[in-house]
Every structure is written in structure tokens, then in C-alpha cells.
Amino acid sequence: MSNASNAPRGSSWRAPGEQPRDLKRQPVVQALIRLVRPRQWTKNTVCLAALIFSGKLSDAGARRHAIIVFLAFCLASSAVYIVNDIRDVDADRAHPVKRHRPLAAGNVDIGAALVWALALAAGSVALSLVLLPRARVELGSFLVLNLLYSMWLKTIPILDVMAIAAGFVLRVQAGVDAIGAPQSAWIVLTMFFMALFLGFTKRRGEMTNLGAETGRGHRLVLASYSIGFVDMLLGLSATTALVCYSLYAVTVQANETFLLTVLPVVFGIARYMMLVLVEDAGGEDPGEILTRDGPLVLAVLAWVVLCVAVIYFDLRLFPARP
């Protein structure tokens, strides 16, 4: 049976390497903007976590350096996306959604995309020159890690998602070092396991949305996963993330009222798992789920309000520790 017969119904599936013929051409400038995926820059807001949790939000110097590291990672991540799109251009043409990306659709040629990626990477490095040395090292490590991911790590099961999670840890740690905030192993571990959780939901979404055979044809590493195995990894990473965050709330934050922030985190993770595992929301695009589900949005807002109230307004609902 040919690959085309395994395509999802209703999609314009094509074999790898075949140029889609039914897509409209876009202006080059618009295509170049889409190529950097500005919607994905929200992932880099984790660079600002240290600014918020350290209580330095009112420090102008800390704010400036936090914004710089955020912008540097936006440029760096966009460069990484372009390199990854160049590597995956043939496979993306066989994907019902990714076939609309500028490179896969033929709106930008590979040479121009490579120059664009190099310019973004250079801009990222230039921005990092005003940061402290350790933050520069973490930005450079992020670029190297993602280059290795595009070239090799994405083909190794489990390690593929761990590499993505490590990228989020580097973002958080760069934000810490950029402003000289106190180090916290628990918040770093929380970010790592939360990123693992979201990464495995993405893998699960790729398998369920495309179907087993088509998904594995698009991303070879999916052949090493099964729905049951991924569901087990989801439970493991979610539980570990909750434990690490709870330990952060208990051991690092002196105000015991901060423990209340664990509640929206528990609800948010449970709600996300319900959407993915019970309501079959997919999970291939975590950002879309996080922003379009009302209860999840409310959980995030409740968490932010509680964090700000405790850290910046010293909200105390429990007696102070002796």
C-alpha cells in the first residue's frame, strides 16, 4: 500500500520531497516573518521567571537585563526554528499542517532562509554581549544544543524530548544569571519536568492527529513510542514537576501563603492531562491548548495573581514561621 493511502482524510497529503501545488504564494516579507514563528516567542517568557520570583521586578537594571535576555532568546529560537525547517522541509511537505510553512510551501528558498537564520543568530549573540558571562554561555549552549537537536538528537527516543526540556532550563538559568538572582535547584527541576510533560504531550498529539503510520513517516522517532508508553511518561513527568514545585514552595519561599500557589498548578496540570487524554484535544500545539481553554487560562491567571500578591504585597494568610 502506498504512503498516500495512509494519509489523514481531508488533508492534501503528499509524499516527502513533493512540492505542494495547491498553496497560495505569499509575499517574501510576510513569509520571512512567518518563518521566525513570532507566536512561539511566548516560550521565552520563562526567561523572566527569575525577575518575578526574586522580587526584583521594581529594579530597573534587573528589568533591562531580563528584557535583553528575553529578546536574545527570541532571536536565537527563531534561528533554530529556521534551521529545523530547512532540515525537515521534505517531511513538512508531507504533513497536513506543516506543509503550509514558508519553506515547505516554497514561499522562501533555502538559501535565503539560511542567511536569515544566520542574521538572527548574530543578532542574538550581539544582544548577549551586554549580559553577564554566564548568561552568554547559556545562550551559546542553547544554540549548540538546538543545532545538535536538529542534526541528531531529534532521532533518539526520550533524549529528543529531554533536549527540548534542557532548552527551557537554559532559558530559565540565563534569566537567573542575567539579573544575578538567587539560584534555586527546585525551580530549575520544575521547569525541566514541566517541559518534559509538554514535550511528551506534543509527541502524543503527533501520533494521534496524524495516525500511527503517517506520524511515524513524518517523524521517524515516533516509531519508538506508543500511546501507552507516552501516557506513562506523561504521568511520571507531571508528578515529578508537581513534587519539585511543592518543594520549591516549601523550602525557598519564606511566606507560607506561597503554598497556595500549588493549587492552581495542580489544577492546571490535571486539566491539561484531561484535555489530552480524555477529551483528545491533541497536544501537538501546547500553546494553543494553554491559550484557548478557559479553565486553563483562569488557572494561570490565579497562579500569577497569587505569586504577585505573596512576593510583592506580602500577602499572609498563615502565621509566620518561628
pLDDT tens readout for residues 49-66: 999 999 999 999 999 999
The pTM of this model reads 0.86
Q: Which residues contact 289 (CB under 8 A, 6 or more apart)?
A: 272, 275, 276, 281, 282, 283, 296
Mean pLDDT, range 80-103, rounded to an integer: 84
Cα distance between residue 152 and residue 119, in whole Å:
23
CA torsion sign for 155, 161, 166, 168 is positive
Residue partners of 308: CB distance under 8 A and separation at least 6: 52
Whether the pLDDT of residue 10 is over 50: the answer is no
Domain final position from 181, 210, 240:
181
Query: Is residue 153 located within the same domain as residue 201?
Result: no
Within its chain, how far is the Cα of 4 from the centroid? 31
Number of folded domains in the chain?
2
Both 33 and 87 in a single domain?
A: yes
Does residue 162 share a domain with residue 240? no
Displacement of CA 27 from its chain's centroid (Å)? 28
Among 238, 236, 299, CA closest to 264: 299
- Identify the DSSP state of 13: -
My answer on whether 172 and 31 are in the same domain is yes
pLDDT value at 321 more than 70:
no
Contact 303, 266 (CB under 8 A): no
Quick one: 216 and 155 in the same domain? no
Mean pLDDT of all residues in 218-225: 82
> Do 133 and 46 share a structural domain?
yes
| Dist. CA 94–CA 183, nearest whole Å | 44
Where among 159, 181, 203 does a domain terminate? 181
Residue 18 above 70 pLDDT? no
Dist CA 90 CA 18 (whole Å): 7
Task: Provide the residue count of the chain.
Answer: 322
Which CA distances in Å does 52 have to 85, 167, 214, 239, 308? 33, 20, 43, 24, 8
CA distance 68 to 243: 32
Mean pLDDT of 175-185: 93
Q: How far apart are CA 184 and CA 10, in angstroms?
A: 49
Tell me which residue range forms the domain holding 177.
27-181
Of 149, 181, 213, the position where a domain reaches its end is: 181
